Structure 1
Amino acid sequence: MTIPQYNPGPADWRHLDQASSAALWLELREWVEWLRRRYDLGSEIKSCWFKHDPMVEELTAAMWAHREVYQQLKKNLYHGGMAAWHYQVLWPLVGRISKMGFGECRRGVCGFEPDAPEIADDFAEFVAAEVADRPEFVPDPESVTSGAEALTMDQVLEMIDGARAVAEDPSDDFTAVDIDGVRWEFDDETETYRPAE
């Protein structure tokens, strides 16, 4: 099995160039300030939030999740995503904020001092031994995809969970997927995945 090449998206801070990060910072600031006002979260999300790396990552994810459920694409307005965003994203995030380093921050003064954890010196040796203990990969000739003309959504999700399939756009529930080097697309009529032609 080979891991597909990683193509960073527009919100992956670790891989952004200068122009992309500047644009994302502006977008995130506007959204966070709206969020703080709208939900009265000024005392939870302190004004120095942008100096707290964990908070930046969490707020970026929350903003993109919010965008996904609130924009009108091909979704039914009453699909429940807006309510789900509140109970699956927003309120759990608010519950985690106390663990994100705001404890020493006071009005106008940021007391955040991020840890600089070091990796143990024996990392390379550990990984080499751990990898050597694993069996070699042998493709299964009775693979669920061999000779299959269609796969159910459940089968595809199971393969994604097992890292055998890779979704092209993880934010799209019906995105095409790569399974063993073959592109499979969702067919609306049969509600199954089929190999792309």
Structure 2
Amino acid sequence: MNEAPDVPGAEDEASEHLDPEIEDDDLYDLVMARTVLPEPPRPINWYLLTSGDAEAEWLALNEWVDQLRRTYGLPASVIPPFWYRHPELVWELSALHLHWIASYDPEQDASGPIAWHTDFALARERLREWVSTSGTRLDRDRPTRQTTWPGEEPQALIEDELIPNRAIDFVDFVAADVQARQDIEDEFIRLKRAADRARDDEPG
């Protein structure tokens, strides 16, 4: 077998990029310093998400929740199919998702995963309570009943809604949520432009 031909200047070029006195640990630190890592997750406030951000967060959370319930064999009493219709479940699962991302971050120490599982056990108990209160079921759903305080209008009669296809319902729900946020954004822009025109029309 023929040996690979020598490339003139190859060793000199390599030596320019790699200091022979650099220890392995130092070399690892150097490589990691030049590696672009994802930013740590920040809290998600579902009240303040824009239409574009909301769509992305819904899809990411839905994918993770589906993976979670399959990985741990979670029953509908912990994670029901229509969790996205109930804000109390959305906030709980969203917080758990962010905690999971942070716990498995490459910059996290080795105790992160076990800390997440400890909190996951507590979260499952809370989820059971939320699900029990909400009244959502495997094949049907209804809005969570609200306690009417003195002076408030009583809540309208709530009836269960049979939902034959969960995937279609999720897409429709997210589309409606995104559109509602978009309408708010459009109205804000309209009012701002009107205010700007009124200010420009002021004399002097």
TM-score, normalising length: structure 1? 0.50
**Structure ranking higher in helix proportion:** 2
**Structure ranking higher in strand proportion:** 1
TM-score, normalising length: structure 2? 0.48
User: Higher RCO, 1 or 2 (CA under 8 Å, sep at least 6)?
Assistant: 2
